[in-house]
């Protein structure tokens, strides 16, 4: 398998999952501005959507959409470990988290990646992010270490990556103490550290 990624982008989530599962894979970086991969290929010919992550399977098929990729990896390679079995209420809860992270939290960060964003629009975007972060903080309110309970899942990998963007984009996470503890906890996992090192990202503080 080959994961097309950009350092620190949402592709870090399937990257972490590949390492959590101990699977063999290669990495190929994508320049998201030029849409060229590090080997010079036209990335839009690999993923016409033009964004990472994309996971090329050994038979050539290319999977896209981070939430779909991580579920495929978990279900295929370690059923029930990083994602509860399909058809269970536990799995439906996990899907709820994945969809929320993808459609609500991840996308709420989108405007902040625009360096030309006007101050007023930025303020609105940060307030919107805050409302989504409240939801995630509440999911951890009973002191559970991970989103769905005692065990690390693919949703934790994804939300960890999205949270990691906040300081880089000037969003102060100080008021979400459980999210801070969560990020710290996840950052100590061997697979997370290995994925971040492979993407040449600085170690979490
Ligand atoms: N719906 C997609 C969104 C992926 C996405 O937003 N990727 C970003 C990096 S985090 C990207 O590659 N942006 C470049 C672009 O859209 O041109 C998913 O969940 O996988």
Model confidence pLDDT, tens digit, residues 85-127: 999 999 999 999 999 999 999 999 999 999 999 999 999 999 9
Q: Which atom of ligand 1 is nearest to the CA of 64?
A: 20
Q: What is the pLDDT of residue 11?
A: 98
- Is 96 within 8 Å of 152 (Cβ atoms)? no
47 plus 96 within the same structural domain:
no
CATH number for 32: 3.40.30.10
69 plus 95 within the same structural domain:
no
Q: How far apart are CA 69 and CA 74, in angstroms?
A: 9
The whole domain housing 167 covers 89-189
Q: What is the pLDDT of residue 205?
A: 57
CATH number for 116: 1.20.1050.10
Q: How far apart are CA 37 and CA 29, in angstroms?
A: 6
Does residue 74 belong to any structural domain of this protein? yes
Does residue 182 belong to any structural domain of this protein? yes
Which of 7, 10, 11, 113 should be mutated for ligand 1, with most atoms under 8 A from CB?
Answer: 10
Model confidence pLDDT, tens digit, residues 175-200: 999 999 999 999 999 999 999 999 99
22 plus 50 within the same structural domain:
yes
56 Cα–ligand 1 center, Å: 16
Q: What is the mean pLDDT of residues 137-155?
A: 98
Q: What is the pLDDT of residue 46?
A: 98
DSSP letter at 50 equals: -
* pTM of the complete model beyond 0.85: yes
76 plus 96 within the same structural domain:
no
93 plus 73 within the same structural domain:
no
With a 6 Å cutoff on the Cβ, whether 32 touches ligand 1 is: yes
- Is 53 within 8 Å of 14 (Cβ atoms)? yes
- Nearest-CA residue for ligand 1 atom 20 is 65
Does residue 203 belong to any structural domain of this protein? no
Does residue 204 belong to any structural domain of this protein? no
Helices (H), the chain: 12-20, 43-46, 66-77, 89-99, 107-109, 119-139, 154-168, 177-187, 190-198
How far is CA 82 from its chain centroid?
A: 14
Model confidence pLDDT, tens digit, residues 34-46: 999 999 999 999 9
Which of 33, 35, 51 should be mutated for ligand 1, with most atoms under 8 A from CB?
Answer: 51
121 plus 160 within the same structural domain:
yes
């Amino acid at each position: 398998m080959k994961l097309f990624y950009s350092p620190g982008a949402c592709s870090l989530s399937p990257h972490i999952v590949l390492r959590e599962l101990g699977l063999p894979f290669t990495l190929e970086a994508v320049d998201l501005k030029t849409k060229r991969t590090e080997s010079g290929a036209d990335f839009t010919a690999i993923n016409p959507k033009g964004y990472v992550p994309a996971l090329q399977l050994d038979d050539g098929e290319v999977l896209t959409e981070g939430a779909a990729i991580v579920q495929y990896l978990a279900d295929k390679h370690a059923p029930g470990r990083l994602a509860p079995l399909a058809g269970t209420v536990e799995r439906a809860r996990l899907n709820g988290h994945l969809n929320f992270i993808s459609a609500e939290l991840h996308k709420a960060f989108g405007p902040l990646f625009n360096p030309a964003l006007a101050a007023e629009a930025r303020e609105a975007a940060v307030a919107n992010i805050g409302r989504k972060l409240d939801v995630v903080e509440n999911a951890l309110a009973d002191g559970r270490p991970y989103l769905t309970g005692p065990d690390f899942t693919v949703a934790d990998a994804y939300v960890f990556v999205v949270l990691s963007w906040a300081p880089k984009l000037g969003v102060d996470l100080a008021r979400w103490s459980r999210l801070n503890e969560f990020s710290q906890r996840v950052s100590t996992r061997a697979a997370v550290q290995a994925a971040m090192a492979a993407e040449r990202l600085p170690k979490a503080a």
